[in-house]
Structure 1
Amino acid sequence: MHPTVRRYLDDLVDAARDVLGDDLVGAYAAGSVALDAYQPGRSDVDVALVVADRLDVARRRELVARLRHEALPCPARGLELVVYTRAVARSGTAEPGFEVELNSGARMPFRATLDPADRPAADGRFWYGLDRSILHQTGYALLGPPAVEVFADLGPDDLRRLLVEALRWWLALPAPGAPEPTASVQAVPGPAAPEPSAPGRSLPRSVASGPAEPGPAAPGPAGNGSEADRPAGDPPLPGAEDAVLGACRSLVRLRDGVWLSKVAAGRRIAATGAYPELIARCVAARSGGTPPGGAQARDFQRWVLRQVLDLS
């Protein structure tokens, strides 16, 4: 684990323990940190806290005040933190079920949600069941029992349904990597959050109106995705690489049963002969290379959605 992130996570756990005391059952790193794929300057820090029982509103607000970037500076793009009760973590439910959701960082739009009912449906409700599935397989215990003992996985039907919802949600955005308008947040104590300097990669999660259908079939998988395949008028679009590699993660999880990092998932899909040049460009873009065009990313997302729908 990156040493700066390790120190930050130690401080975060200490601050959470100050607020929650013995009610803090466990703390778990997820995402790129847990998968040993953290990239300084690019990655978020994803954390899940597990508590013994429901929290009252005052403690939820205090937790936000202590853990937000202005109180505990995050060394990454930002912190994405979710708090679950032990019962919800063990349930394997597809419902959000969180106590607190906090997104805060120097380059991340601030958001704090203290009740799942306050989260707009248009922002997506599929994230949390998928996040807990990832934690079940790959969560890194900072405090408490191993993640596999704390978080239950989704059942096959719920997993497939949430992955389809997620892919359709991403396809409904104006463009891969497009800036997402900031949603309203719950009022919380503490200093005012700064204006966001860059769009969030996952939250706020506002979408364009209406669900997207799979659309026309993309070209056959073998040998496509080359620079020559990029349509005229489809310039490189920053963020499109994450749209492609994130879709790879979904397909690998459903097809092979494992959650991988975006880059590892992309390489696994490319090894099957599907879109090798496009995926190679996306991997390179995460280290400063030129990203693909938005139309290419959309074609790939539609192809992945078809694969997921066919794996029923």
Structure 2
Amino acid sequence: MDLNTGPSLPERVSYDPAESPAFWYVLDRSLAHQSGLVLFGGPVREVIAAPERPAVLAALRASVREHADGEGHVADNRVLNGCRSVVYCRTGRWRAKRGAAGEVAASEEAFRPLVEAALRSFERPRETALTLPEARVRDFLAWVAERVDEAVEAAGAEGGPTGSR
């Protein structure tokens, strides 16, 4: 099921996996396994299996490609999802967008102004999101793609699906 709700999202319910990019299902399952809250039934980690790291990294590659295209995504969200991707590649753990952005801003001085602008924009209603410099967003997402590719290579070099950096 694909379910989007919330004050800043267009409401959506779909039971057809062909209606959304497949990477969302892998990423959502990974997030849910790590941090999901029980609404009904057994413990989340017993009900939702974690996808293997190579599957998550492949989904991150697809997500970064889609966000790099920019179509249908607000620029601040593209940057913040990129931050989450980098932190996942570095740690094997998911962080909330704001926390991941803080980590990337602290460690990557060249991208700090863009990430901080994305955070300021993310605080605003979606219809009044700030315009971010498209060339910088593309450069940032190209850098994110390189971090994902490095994580893929490292996972392969470590000889298994659970390799973590």
TM-score tier after normalising by the smaller chain length: 0.7 to 0.9
**Aligned 1:3-18 pairs, distance under 5 A:** none
Q: Which amino acid aligns with 1:300?
A: F
TM (norm. structure 2) is 0.77
Tell me which structure has the larger Cα radius of gyration: 1
Paired residue for 1:292?
132
Map Cα deviations across residues 85-123 of structure 1 (whole Å, 9 max, x no partner). Answer: xxxxxxxxxxxxxxxx3446776545443333xx15xx4
Residue 172 in structure 1 maps to residue 69 in structure 2: yes
- Determine which structure has the larger strand proportion and give its number: 1
Identity of aligned residues (%): 32
Q: Aligned partners of 2:62 and 2:85: how far apart in 1?
A: 11
Q: Take 1:136 and 1:111, find their aligned partners in 2: how far apart are those partners?
A: 22
1:115 aligns with 2:115: no
Rounded Cα–Cα distance in structure 2 between residues aligned with 1:109 and 1:130: 20
Query: Cα deviation per residue 1:230-260 (whole Å; 9 max; x = unaligned)?
Result: xxxxxxxxx2111101111011112111111
SS in structure 1 at match of 2:39: strand
What residue identity is the alignment partner of 2:67? W
CA distance in structure 1 between the partners assigned to 2:9 and 2:42 by the alignment: 30
Contact 1:245 1:262 in 2 (8 A): yes
Task: Name whichever structure is richer in helix by fraction.
Answer: 2
Q: CA deviation at 1:261?
A: 0.7
Establish whether residue 135 from structure 1 lines up as the match of residue 36 from structure 2.
no
1:94 aligned partner:
none
Q: Is the 8 A contact 2:84 2:96 kept in 1?
A: yes
- Which of 253, 257, 260 does residue 88 from structure 2 map onto? 253
**RMSD of equivalent CA atoms:** 2.3
Structure 2: distance between partners of 1:286 and 1:160: 25
Q: Which runs of 5+ in 2 are unaligned?
A: 154-165
Q: 2:97 aligns with which of 250, 253, 262?
A: 262
Which structure's relative contact order is higher, taking Cα pairs within 8 Å and 6+ residues apart? 2
Report deviation, 1:133: 0.4
Asked if structure 1 preserves the Cα contact closer than 8 Å seen for 2:70 and 2:78, the reply is no
Number of residue pairs the alignment of both structures matches: 147
